[in-house]
């Protein structure tokens, strides 16, 4: 036995089932996924003298629980594959008890949880990446739409969402049809390609 008192938590979208194993006794409680209940979970684990707690990494549901618990006790995040490899499970209570039992005997392989600043930076960079992907997809749709309408935005003017591209699109939307006038809307580096 590695830990005298430890906890196991099975987290879902709408509830969390926690089990505390202490001196051969187990206590199981169910909490909602509201912050107030998670603070109650933290109080309960602290009063029981629980130092480590194991959470199965299911989707993103473990993150808010980890954010609340990580300063007060050692949070051990484990993959479902590692946790389920020892025992067939059927219910949330059995899952929570199994996690606590495996943790108690040191049989859980902990996953790496980056420090909070790194997690925040990861979230920001992932969000930025998704925005860039959406912007590229939108620019491609604009290019295809203009090509299907027999509108050539001009050679070398491939950036539909660039400064020059936006000016030309606004002019087209306003009813402009003269190619000569449209060429004068070129900005920055595209001005060099104005004769084309």
Give, for all 196 residues of the chain, the pLDDT tens digit: 788 899 999 998 889 999 999 988 999 999 998 999 989 999 999 999 998 999 988 788 888 888 899 888 899 998 877 666 555 557 888 888 888 988 888 888 888 888 889 989 999 999 999 999 998 898 888 888 888 887 776 555 456 777 777 888 888 888 887 777 777 777 766 666 666 6
Please indicate, yes or no, whether residues 103 and 188 belong to a single structural domain of this protein.
Answer: no
Q: Are residues 9 and 102 in the same domain?
A: yes
Q: Give CA separation, 112 vs 67, 79, 107, 150, in Å.
A: 14, 11, 16, 54
Give the pLDDT confidence score for residue 22 in this predicted structure. Answer: 92
What is residue 86's predicted lDDT score, i.e. its pLDDT? 52
**Same domain for 187 and 121:** yes
pTM of the model: 0.64
Contact predicate 93/19, CB 8 Å = yes
Asked which of 66, 92, 113 is the last residue of a domain, the reply is 113
Cα distance between residue 175 and residue 188, in whole Å: 24
Q: Hey, is 80 helix, strand or coil?
A: helix
Q: Are residue 145 and residue 89 in the same domain, yes or no? A: no
In 10 A of CB 177, how many CB atoms? 9
Number of domains in the chain: 2
Domain coverage including residue 130: 117-193
In this structure, are 170 and 188 located in the same domain?
yes
- What's CA 161's distance to the chain center, in Å? 28
130 shares a domain with 107 = no
Does residue 124 share a domain with residue 49?
no
């Amino acid at each position: 036995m590695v830990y005298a008192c430890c906890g196991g938590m099975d987290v879902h979208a709408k509830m969390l089932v926690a089990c505390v194993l202490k001196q051969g006794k187990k206590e199981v409680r169910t909490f909602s996924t509201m912050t107030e209940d998670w603070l109650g979970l933290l109080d309960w684990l602290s009063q029981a003298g629980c130092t480590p707690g194991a959470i199965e990494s299911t989707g993103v549901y473990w993150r808010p629980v980890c954010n609340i618990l990580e300063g007060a006790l050692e949070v051990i995040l484990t993959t479902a594959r590692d946790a389920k490899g020892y025992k067939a499970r059927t219910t949330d209570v059995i899952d929570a008890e199994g996690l606590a039992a495996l943790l108690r005997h040191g049989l859980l392989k902990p996953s790496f949880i980056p420090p909070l600043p790194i997690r925040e930076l990861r979230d920001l960079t992932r969000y930025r990446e998704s925005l860039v992907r959406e912007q590229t997809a939108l620019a491609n749709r604009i290019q295809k739409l203009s090509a299907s309408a027999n509108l050539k935005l001009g050679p070398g003017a491939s950036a539909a969402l660039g400064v020059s591209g936006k000016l030309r699109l606004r002019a087209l939307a306003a009813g402009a049809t003269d190619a000569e006038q449209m060429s004068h809307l070129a900005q920055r580096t595209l001005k060099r390609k104005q004769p084309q």
